[in-house]
Amino acid sequence: MSAVRYHSIEVDGLKVFYREALKAGAPKLLLLHGFPSSGHMFRDLMPLLADRFHLVAPDLPGFGLTDMPPRERFPYTFDNIARVIDRFTEIIGFDRFAIYVFDYGAPTGFRMAVRHPERISAIISQNGNAYEEGLSDGWTPIRAYWEDASEANRKALRAFLTPETTSWQYTHGVPDPTRVSPDGQNLDNYYLARPGADDIQLDLFGDYKSNVALYPTFQNYFRTHKPPFLAVWGKNDPFFLPPGAEAFKRDIPEAEVRFFDTGHFALETHCAEIAKIIGDFIDARVRK
C-alpha cells in the first residue's frame, strides 16, 4: 500500500498544503473537501485507494493548513478558490484527472471542469450539488443574506460557525452517531476559531449565490461532455437533498447514483463502501 505523504507548495504566492498517495502510472484523482473541513476528511479514504490511484487532497485557501491570507489581500470567492486549485493542479503535473467533489469542493471542481473539460476524466460527487432541487430549507438564512447583505443577516449566519453546529453537521441523519469520530469535527472547530476565519466563512456564505447562478453552466457542461459520473450520497443530508443527486442523471443519463443511510459527511460512516464503489467505477469507466 502506498503511504500518504504531506506536502506544501507555493501557488502564486500562496502556500497550499496537500496530502498525496502516489502509485506510479495509476489514474489521478483530485479530492476536494468542503465546509468546514479540510483534506483531513479524506484521512480514511486515501489509504483504501492508495494502491489503485495517484491521490492528491489539497486544503482549499482559508481552510486547514493552506494559507489564510487577509480578506483585504485575497478575495474569498469561489472563483478565486477555483483559480488557485486549478493552478495547483498544473504545478503538480495533474494534466488529466478525475475529481472527487464534496460540498464546497463541488463548485470548485465544476468550475475547473467547465474551464478545462479536456482535463477531467471522471467526476465523483459526494453530496456535491449542482441543481436547485438539491438545496434544502436549511439554506433559508443564507438565501436571506444573498437577498439583503445587511449586518443583521450576516450576524445571523454566525450560528453556522459554532462548535455545536459543526457537531450537528457531522451527526445529523446518522442512525448511530457513535460511529462518528469526534476528531474531524474538533479539528474543524480549531480552524474555525482562528482570528479572522469567521469573516472569511461569512464571505463564502455570501458568495455561494454565485454557485447557484452557475448551475445552468455546470449542467450544460454535463450535457455537452457527459463525463463518467458517480454520485455517492448521504441521503439524510440536511443541506443537499437526494433529488439533487438524482438530477445528475437528467444531464448524464449513464450517471451512477448510490445512496447511503447517513448524513452530510458520508465518509465518516461509510468510507469502506464508498471506496469500493469508487474503485469499481474507475475500473469500469476510466481505466478500461
Give the catalytic positions in this structure. Answer: 264
| Spatial contact of 105 and 128, defined as CB atoms under 8 Å apart | yes
**Cα–chain-centroid distance for residue 80?**
15
Stated as kind and residue range, the H or E segment containing 9 is strand 5-11
* Torsional sign, CA 83, 89, 90, 96: negative
CA distances from 171 to 137, 149, 179 (A): 18, 30, 9
Give residue for cell 457527459: 226
User: Quick one: which of 77, 125, 147, 88 has its CA closest to 259?
Assistant: 125
